Chains A and B, each alone.
Chain A
Amino acid sequence: MTISAKALWLHFGILALLFALNFVLPEYHRGIFSRVMVLAVFAMGYNLAYGYTGLLSLGHAMFFAAGLYGAGLTIYHLDWSVWPALLAGLTAGAILAVAASFLALRTAGVAFMIVTLMFAQVFYLATLYFTTYTRGEEGLVLPQSARVLSLPGIELNLTDPGTRYMVALALFATVLFSLLFLVRSSFGRTLVAIRESEERMRMLGYDVFTNKLSSMTISALICAAAGAAYAILFGYAGSSFASIQYSILPLLWVLLGGAATTLGPVVGTFFMFYAVDIASGYTSAYMLVVGLALILLVLYFPRGIAGTARERWLPWLP
């Protein structure tokens, strides 16, 4: 199946808009946008497993944190530069993803949620246990000097807000377009079919387990990339990023934006971030906002923003 021209234009348009915003946004919002773009990558990765494959994992914080610590620890303790640190983060995410998914995918449904949640909890406790290296809740603050990205012929200083925005956008664009093509490929269609009826796919001769394992691994790799980018761009790695809360947040963003849509996680992340940001201007009770949002969502808006848009007005939305 190919991607419609309309869909391609929409995705390009969004990237162009984000590119242009770097030059007009005030400093505060430019900072938020950089952060949200990285977190949206996290949500997009989660969406591949949850939205497209129907694997409701409650343990994706582990993959995000694997990337975060893979990059953060190597920079902090071994003085690695950005590229190898990024690679370390991705490797850590991939190894954990294959190992955890291989075990967790033996279960399904509620058991799968609980097993993934527990694996992530073990990882979180491990970050606390090895406080000597990770400094636990307090976290590692990466030295400014390490945060320089070397490209052929040019050195990018990632502590500069404008550069940081562009690097975040580059990662965002890469993941968005990779996923756009991936979910429209035959592999992506296979995942959706598995989500709809695993039994039938098995009867048709598909290797359901391997497909799910691949989906989880790619999903985890994207989340690890987001984690590694977060550590490098914002210079901080702490154990709160491995806590249950960071498994729940991507689920919330994806649900809000619309599961199984390419743009849903992006819309959801931006929407939630600004909802909390604006709400915390009026009240310190932002958890109440998150809680109410979750309940109202599943009650009245089960398809999310982009999901509803696709259902009502834009059937071509991928």
Chain B
Amino acid sequence: MAFGPYLLLATLEGLVMAAVLALMALGLSLVFGVMRIVNVAHGEFYMLGAVLAWWFASLIGGHPALGFLLALAASPLTVAAVAFLSERLVLRRLNYEPETTIVATIGLLYIIQQLALTFYGPEARPVQPPFDVRLSLPWFGYSSYKLAVVGASIFLMLATWFLLAHTKAGLVMRATQSDRETAQAFGIPVDRVYAGVFALGAGLAALAAVLVVPIRQAHYLMGQDPLLLSFIVVIIGGLGSLRGTVIAALLIGLSDGIISMFFSPTLAKMLATLLVALVLVFRPQGLFGTVTQ
């Protein structure tokens, strides 16, 4: 193939990756922004979403779309419930102190990973995509499902934006984010908002995972790479900036797709990680964030 087709393919793959990253990073950014904690277990919620998606899909026979739809509905809800429970049982008791919550979420990471290994096993397992029409592009055929993932991600981002900007729940979340004490004084149940946000963040990660399973299979170690990448997205985009998150996800997804196609993927990851670390060193508020502290 010539250069053009390669570039198109890399761009398409990069877009799919950006779509998934944006959803995952959005969850991380919400939790990070509203609760001021770093959820290291976010990648495991993603993995749990994928593993549960496989399990739910395997329950139903018949057309693959049926199993997928069940997974799409049930898996994020289950993960959100798990997150809600762990927030109530652990994080709340730590008073949301940044450093101890990091340690606690590292603990959560290990527990979820081990449970997945014990009950799901070390194999990678696929879920059938709900539809699989090949779109014919000038040089090659491309999976329509992958493009649908991009569409679904855009829809979910818009829905989250609407939730945050135009509903009462969003107002309450934003109030809690900007000033926890004043919000509490105005009668906002900050405690419940926190639990809700943590569950919502985990649910978004699980949703991203369900969308990914037909493309990349479910595996018990699949949470680590996207966790680091979504950290990167959140940091580059700037804390609490929805626009920043989307732009950063596009930037990272596309550059990762294109660089890994033409150079070594490990080298691409190395350079991206180093670059982001330096962004954080010299511009801690990210590219689109405002100074908060």
Some 21 contacts from A to B, beta carbons below 8 A apart, are A103-B277, A107-B281, A110-B38, A111-B280, A114-B235, A114-B277, A118-B274, A118-B276, A121-B273, A122-B270, A125-B266, A125-B269, A125-B270, A126-B270, A129-B267, A287-B113, A288-B110, A290-B110, A291-B108, A291-B109, A298-B103
The interface of chain B, by Cβ under 8 A from chain A, is 38, 90, 93-94, 98-100, 102-104, 106-111, 113-115, 117-118, 224, 228, 231, 235, 264, 266-267, 269-270, 273-274, 276-278, 280-282, 284
Contacts beyond the supplied A285-B118, A294-B104, A295-B108: 19 A-B pairs with Cβ under 8 Å: A103-B281, A107-B284, A110-B102, A111-B284, A114-B235, A119-B274, A121-B228, A122-B277, A128-B266, A129-B264, A129-B270, A244-B224, A287-B110, A291-B108, A291-B111, A291-B113, A291-B114, A294-B106, A298-B107
4 interchain residue pairs of minimum CB distance: A291-B110, A294-B107, A291-B111, A287-B114
Q: A248's closest neighbor in chain B, by CB?
A: B106
Q: A290's closest neighbor in chain B, by CB?
A: B110
Q: Which residues of the other chain, A, contact B100 by a CB distance below 8 angstroms?
A: 298, 302
Query: How long is the Cα–Cα vector from A97 to B231 in the complex, in angstroms?
Result: 23
Whether A312 sits at the interface, judged by CB under 8 Å, is no
**Contact status A299-B93, CB under 8 Å:** yes
**Contact status A292-B111, CB under 8 Å:** yes
Interface code A124-151, partner B: CB below 8 Å = 1, 0 otherwise?
0110110000000000000000000000
Q: Which residues of the other chain, B, contact A58 by a CB distance below 8 angstroms?
A: 102
Q: Which residues of the other chain, B, contact A118 by a CB distance below 8 angstroms?
A: 228, 273-274, 276-277, 280
**A107-B281, A110-B38, A291-B111 are contacts. A56–B228 as well, Cβ < 8 Å?**
no
Query: How long is the Cα–Cα vector from A290 to B109 in the complex, in angstroms?
Result: 10
**Contact status B94-A298, CB under 8 Å:** yes
Nearest chain B CB to A251 CB, angstrom units:
7
When the two chains form the complex, which single residue of A56, A115, A128, A248 contacts B281, counting CB atoms closer than 8 Å?
A: A115
**Contact status A56-B99, CB under 8 Å:** yes
Q: Which residues of the other chain, A, contact B109 by a CB distance below 8 angstroms?
A: 291
**A113-B38, A114-B231, A125-B273 are contacts. A294–B281 as well, Cβ < 8 Å?**
no
Q: Which of B103, B107, B108, B282 has most A Cβ within 10 Å? A: B107
**Contact status A104-B110, CB under 8 Å:** no
**A113-B102, A125-B270, A128-B266 are contacts. A294–B110 as well, Cβ < 8 Å?**
yes
Q: Which residues of the other chain, B, contact A293 by a CB distance below 8 angstroms?
A: 107
Q: B107's closest neighbor in chain A, by CB?
A: A294
Query: How long is the Cα–Cα vector from A103 to B111 in the complex, in angstroms?
Result: 33
Q: Which residues of the other chain, B, contact A290 by a CB distance below 8 angstroms?
A: 107, 110
Q: Which residues of the other chain, B, contact A121 by a CB distance below 8 angstroms?
A: 228, 273
Nearest chain A CB to B108 CB, angstrom units:
7
From 72 to 125 in chain A, residues with beta carbon under 8 angstroms from any chain B beta carbon are 103-104, 106-107, 109-111, 113-115, 118-119, 121-122, 125
Nearest chain B CB to A250 CB, angstrom units:
12
Q: Which residues of the other chain, A, contact B38 by a CB distance below 8 angstroms?
A: 110, 113-114
When the two chains form the complex, which single residue of B103, B266, B282, B284 contacts A255, counting CB atoms closer than 8 Å?
A: B103
Query: How long is the Cα–Cα vector from A154 to B228 in the complex, in angstroms?
Result: 49
Nearest chain A CB to B169 CB, angstrom units:
26
From 43 to 72 in chain A, residues with beta carbon under 8 angstroms from any chain B beta carbon are 56, 58
**A114-B38, A255-B103 are contacts. A107–B110 as well, Cβ < 8 Å?**
no
Nearest chain B CB to A166 CB, angstrom units:
35
Q: Which residues of the other chain, B, contact A285 by a CB distance below 8 angstroms?
A: 114, 117-118
When the two chains form the complex, which single residue of B94, B111, B269, B277 contacts A288, counting CB atoms closer than 8 Å?
A: B111
**A114-B38, A288-B115 are contacts. A109–B106 as well, Cβ < 8 Å?**
no
**Contact status B103-A251, CB under 8 Å:** yes
**Contact status B281-A122, CB under 8 Å:** no
Nearest chain B CB to A314 CB, angstrom units:
24
Q: Which residues of the other chain, A, contact B274 by a CB distance below 8 angstroms?
A: 118-119, 122
Query: How long is the Cα–Cα vector from A310 to B106 in the complex, in angstroms?
Result: 27
